[in-house]
Structures are given as structure tokens and as C-alpha cells.
């Protein structure tokens, strides 16, 4: 069968994209490597949309939870992933957890029942030079195809070892302790030209005793283990875990990400600090999105377990009440620097016949991957129909996720991200306790006018 579009990858994103296109009547070729005798190191079966980690799609609460809101919006768009999840649902409180086999079975059955979809068990090693294509090969893209993508996008466009620093909600940082400044006020002119005020970092100061206690907590904290296929992946100097640096000497962190030089603490102009206003060590946070709602802990990539990160990082002065949009981590991953490489329709800027979808775009999580696949499928369907794509409202979960991937995130520090309210335009005039409900109410109202443009 000739086809209108080629989708590479039969995971969550590829399956969702294929569904959105095929049910609109377009002929789809869906290529999946599993079933040829080859699998990625993470997969255990040849099933489409296999869940390789947890069986949970996280919270299903769409009244005050960002991922629950994303569930709700995907259901309104006719998502196959959400329909299959409902069929495979198992008890998990307010979370949406599924029976893995029932879930993937429902997806494969729905797709193979479509007469205009051809599922081909084949490995694709090279990006197609022509013809509409969606690449949804996930975070463990096979080496040959990854090499082809790298050749098409530039040698530095793909990350193969994902060094993630924690991200903190700006409103949870105690600015009575922390302060805004750049080291030696460097880069002030460039900052001002970009709309800043020359004080681009949030700085959390430590005394010597606080620093030594913090280092001991880092050394003693419980760490996660690498997966078998990650074990031989070397650390790069630029993404050394903080616990590895801490092991290398008492002052290694102070000469690395916690370097205090050039940072004069205005809160410390008191007789209580006989050494002056200069901290012994400083934790810096850098703005992570254009909205200024989430801030990245600079250089704090780590294998500490999530509960340990929350406990230990809240001992940092100024972060005692920190709320985390994302915890840190290190693992093997393949993803694009999407804000630089992709346009607002997920198309490769220098090869617009190719779209990318799912985790390879730098979203994180099952639901986010499927949501980006869904949007890529709808975008392609509209393009094939000669119709225009209307971007979902920036205030919706779909719009916030798409905006983050395709331009809102800082390209230089772009890392995989789950959906969270820090990606939404802020509601400063709403009390903090009511803000989550306000975000979801606004999203639902704004999305209502957009849905008729894409729903079939």
C-alpha cells in the first residue's frame, strides 16, 4: 500500500500519532524495530506502546494537577492512549495505573484494525529524504538512526547522557535569605539587553559549617543505581554528579557549582559575620523558562533518590520550603535541542517534511510523550488536508507543553521536562492555595474554543 505519511517508532507517541492520522482517513506506514529480532535495552516485549518503567500514568486529578489536566485535554481530543488506559485501569487511588499487557494489547488491536494503517516490523536507519515523516523513536533511539539525525541537525544537537539538575518553583524560594546577583555583575549589559536587570541568578548562601554539613548529607544520601545498559556510560566533565564531586575532596564543590567568589551577600552586612559578607559556598539557581516561574539548580545533576533530594536540598538556606517542578537525575537518553531545531509545529527547521514527537523532543513521561505524539499527528493530518494548524492556547496543558518544547525553554540548558504548572503563564493575582484550581479552570475555558478546530 502506498502511504501518505511514514511514522517511525511504535511507542506511545508513535502509536498516538498513527491513530490520529489513520482515523482521519490517511494512509499510514508505522515502522517498529521490535519484532525484527532487535529491541532497545529497556524493552521486554515486541508490543506496541510497551510501558518500560512504571505502570502509572500519574495523577488523574484534572481539577488541581497539571498531568491530570493533560489527561483531560487528551481525552477531549480523542486520544487512543487515554482510551486504552481506561480499559486497562487498575486500582491506584487518584492515579491512573494500568495493566501493562491489557494496555498495550488494546492499543495494538485498535491500530491494526484500521484498514488504512500498515504496521511494518522494520528498523529504519536513515531519516527519509522526502515524504511526510514523524520520528517517534524515544529516548533510546537506535545508534544508526541517531547518527543520521545527528548528521541532519548538527553534531551537538543530540544528548546521549541526560544530566538533569533539579528545578524549583520560583514562588517557593525564600528571598529573605537568598538574593539576586550575577558573579562580579558579569554580563549585566547583555542581560539588560534581553530584558533582565543584570542580576540573573538567585543565590543561596552557606556558612562554612552549613557547607560541611551539607556535603556530609550528600555523601550519606541514598543514591539510585544505573540501569544495566547505562553502567558503562562515562560521565562528562560538564555533568559530573554532585555526589561524585563531593567524594573528590572537601572543597571540590566549592570550586565547582557552589563557587562563592564574586557573590556579595547583602543580607550579611552584620557583625554576626566577621569574615565579611562573602559566603563560604553558594548554590545558584538560573531561570529555566521565559515566564520566570521555574528555576534550575545550577550544576546539581545527581543520582540521589527523589525523597533524598527533597530532604537534603531543603537544608540549603533559602530553599527550606522549596517545591520542586522536577528532581535531578542522570541516565542515558537521546533527545533533541528542540527549542533550537524544531519550529512551532514540531518540524525540523532545515527539513520540514520531518516532524519529531515524544521523548526524543525532550518531554519527559508517558503522558507527555503521548500528548506530543497526538499533537504531531493532528498537525500532520491538517497539513495533508490543506488546513492550517491552530496552536492550542498557551494557558492549556497541551499549549504549555508545546510552547516549552518549541521555544519557551532556554536552549542552552534544555533538558527533559514533565508537564507542571511552572510551564503555564502565571496567575500572580490569585492566592497561592487557589492557584492550581485557577490554572485548570482557565485552561478548560480557553481550550473550549480550540477543540472544534481539531476534534473529529
CATH label of the domain that carries residue 422:
3.50.50.60
More confident residue, 444 or 266: 444
* 224 assigned ligand-binding residue: no
Last residue of a domain, one of 263, 296, 327: 327
Question: What is the Cα–Cα distance from 373 to 327, expressed in whole angstroms?
Answer: 24
Residues 263 and 364 in one domain: no
Last residue of a domain, one of 327, 342, 360: 327
Residues 17 and 35 in one domain: yes
Instruction: Inform me whether the pLDDT recorded for 353 exceeds 60.
Output: yes
**Out of 137-146, 269-278, 381-390, 420-429, which region has the weakest mean confidence (pLDDT)?**
269-278
Residues 156 and 182 in one domain: no
Residues 202 and 286 in one domain: yes
Question: What is the Cα–Cα distance from 243 to 27, expressed in whole angstroms?
Answer: 51
Question: What is the Cα–Cα distance from 453 to 393, expressed in whole angstroms?
Answer: 12
Domain that holds residue 280: 167-327
* 93 assigned ligand-binding residue: no
Q: Are strands 133-135 and 351-356 parallel, antiparallel or unpaired?
A: parallel
Read off the pLDDT band of 345 (50, 70, 90): very high
Give pLDDT, residue 190. Answer: 41
* 451 assigned ligand-binding residue: no
Instruction: Inform me whether the pLDDT recorded for 437 exceeds 50.
Output: yes
Read off the pLDDT band of 187 (50, 70, 90): very low
Question: What is the Cα–Cα distance from 2 to 295, expressed in whole angstroms?
Answer: 48
Give pLDDT, residue 162. Answer: 59
Last residue of a domain, one of 286, 302, 327: 327
Q: If DSSP codes are grouped into helix, strand and coil, which group holds residue 264? A: coil
Instruction: Please tell me the total count of domains within the chain.
Output: 2
Instruction: Inform me whether the pLDDT recorded for 195 exceeds 60.
Output: no
Read off the pLDDT band of 194 (50, 70, 90): very low
Give pLDDT, residue 188. Answer: 47
Contact (Cβ atoms closer than 8 angstroms) between residue 29 and residue 124: no
Tens digit of pLDDT for each residue in 44-67?
788 999 987 677 899 999 988 999
Instruction: Inform me whether the pLDDT recorded for 229 exceeds 90.
Output: no
Residues 206 and 174 in one domain: yes
* 11 assigned ligand-binding residue: yes
Residues 17 and 153 in one domain: yes
**Out of 163-167, 394-398, 436-440, which region has the weakest mean confidence (pLDDT)?**
163-167
Instruction: Inform me whether the pLDDT recorded for 451 exceeds 90.
Output: yes
- Which candidate, 250, 164, 168, 177, places its Cα nearest to that of 214? 250
Average pLDDT of span 417-433: 92
CA 75 to chain centre: 21
Give one word for 8, left, alpha or beta, with left for phi > 0 and alpha for psi -120 to 50: beta
Tens digit of pLDDT for each residue in 280-327?
999 999 887 778 898 989 889 898 999 999 999 999 999 999 999 989
Instruction: Inform me whether the pLDDT recorded for 79 exceeds 80.
Output: yes
Question: What is the Cα–Cα distance from 276 to 446, expressed in whole angstroms?
Answer: 52
- Which candidate, 303, 304, 312, 285, places its Cα nearest to that of 169? 285
Instruction: Inform me whether the pLDDT recorded for 121 exceeds 50.
Output: yes
Question: What is the Cα–Cα distance from 12 to 150, expressed in whole angstroms?
Answer: 23
Residues 171 and 313 in one domain: yes
CA 59 to chain centre: 17
Average pLDDT of span 214-223: 95
Read off the pLDDT band of 94 (50, 70, 90): confident
* 9 assigned ligand-binding residue: yes
Residues 250 and 125 in one domain: no
Distances (CA, A) of 379 to 39, 214, 243, 245, 349: 29, 48, 43, 45, 15
Give pLDDT, residue 276. Answer: 53
Residues 305 and 444 in one domain: no
- Grid cell for residue 2: 502506498
Distances (CA, A) of 323 to 68, 172, 292, 419: 19, 6, 15, 15
Question: What is the Cα–Cα distance from 334 to 336, expressed in whole angstroms?
Answer: 7
CATH number at residue 258: 2.40.30
Read off the pLDDT band of 196 (50, 70, 90): low
Question: What is the Cα–Cα distance from 27 to 30, expressed in whole angstroms?
Answer: 10
Average pLDDT of the chain is 88
* 358 assigned ligand-binding residue: no
Residues 153 and 221 in one domain: no
Give pLDDT, residue 193. Answer: 47
Residues 80 and 181 in one domain: no
Residues 29 and 98 in one domain: yes
Contact (Cβ atoms closer than 8 angstroms) between residue 88 and residue 97: no
Amino acid at each position: 500500500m502506498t502511504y501518505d505519511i511514514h511514522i517511525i517508532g511504535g511507542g506511545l507517541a508513535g502509536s498516538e500519532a498513527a491513530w490520529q492520522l489513520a482515523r482521519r482517513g490517511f494512509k499510514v506506514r508505522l515502522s517498529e524495530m521490535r519484532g525484527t529480532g532487535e529491541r532497545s535495552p529497556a524493552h521486554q516485549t515486541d508490543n506496541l506502546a510497551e510501558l518500560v518503567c512504571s505502570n502509572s500514568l500519574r495523577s488523574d486529578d484534572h481539577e488541581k494537577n497539571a498531568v491530570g489536566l493533560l489527561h483531560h485535554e487528551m481525552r477531549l481530543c480523542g486520544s487512543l492512549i487515554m482510551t486504552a488506559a481506561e480499559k486497562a485501569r487498575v486500582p491506584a487511588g487518584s492515579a491512573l495505573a494500568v495493566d501493562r499487557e491489557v494496555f498495550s494489547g488494546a492499543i495494538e488491536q485498535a491500530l491494526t484494525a484500521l484498514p488504512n494503517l500498515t504496521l511494518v516490523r522494520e528498523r529504519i536507519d536513515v531519516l527519509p529524504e522526502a515524504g511526510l515523516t514523524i520520528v517517534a523513536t524515544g529516548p533510546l533511539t537506535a545508534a544508526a538512526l541517531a547518527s543520521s539525525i545527528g548528521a541532519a541537525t548538527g553534531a551537538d544537537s543530540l544528548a546521549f547522557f541526560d544530566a538533569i539538575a533539579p528545578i524549583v518553583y520560583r514562588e517557593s524560594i525564600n528571598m529573605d535569605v537568598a538574593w539576586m546577583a550575577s558573579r562580579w555583575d558579569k554580563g549585566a549589559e547583555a542581560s539588560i539587553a534581553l530584558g533582565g536587570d543584570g542580576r540573573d541568578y538567585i543565590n543561596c548562601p552557606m556558612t562554612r559549617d552549613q557547607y560541611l554539613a551539607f556535603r556530609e548529607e550528600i555523601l550519606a544520601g541514598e543514591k539510585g543505581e544505573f540501569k544495566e545498559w547505562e553502567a558503562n556510560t562515562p560521565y562528562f566533565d560538564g555533568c559530573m554528579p554532585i555526589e561524585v564531586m563531593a567524594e573528590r575532596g572537601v572543597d571540590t564543590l566549592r570550586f565547582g557549582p557552589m563557587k562563592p567568589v564574586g557573590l556579595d551577600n547583602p543580607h550579611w552586612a552584620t557583625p554576626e559575620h566577621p569574615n565579611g559578607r562573602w559566603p563560604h559556598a553558594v548554590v545558584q539557581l538560573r531561570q529555566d523558562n521565559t515566564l520566570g516561574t521555574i528555576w534550575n539548580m545550577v550544576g546539581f545533576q545527581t543520582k540521589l533518590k527523589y525523597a533524598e533530594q527533597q530532604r537534603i536540598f531543603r537544608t540549603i538556606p533559602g530553599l527550606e520550603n522549596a517545591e520542586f517542578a522536577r528532581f535531578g537525575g542522570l541516565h542515558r537518553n537521546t533527545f533533541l535541542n528542540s527549542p533550537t531545531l524544531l519550529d512551532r509545529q514540531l518540524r525540523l527547521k532545515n527539513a520540514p517534511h520531518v516532524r519529531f514527537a515524544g521523548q526524543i523532543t525532550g518531554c519527559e513521561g508517558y503522558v507527555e510523550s503521548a500528548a506530543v505524539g497526538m499533537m504531531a499527528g493532528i498537525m500532520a493530518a491538517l497539513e495533508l488536508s490543506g488546513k492550517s494548524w491552530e496552536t492550542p492556547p498557551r494557558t492549556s496543558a497541551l499549549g504549555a507543553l508545546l510552547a516549552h518544547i518549541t521555544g519557551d525553554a532556554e536552549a542552552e540548558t534544555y533538558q527533559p521536562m514533565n508537564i507542571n504548572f511552572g510551564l503555564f503563564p502565571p496567575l500572580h493575582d490569585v492566592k497561592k492555595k487557589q492557584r492550581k484550581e485557577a490554572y485548570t479552570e482557565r485552561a478548560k475555558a480557553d481550550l473550549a474554543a480550540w477543540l472544534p478546530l481539531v476534534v473529529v
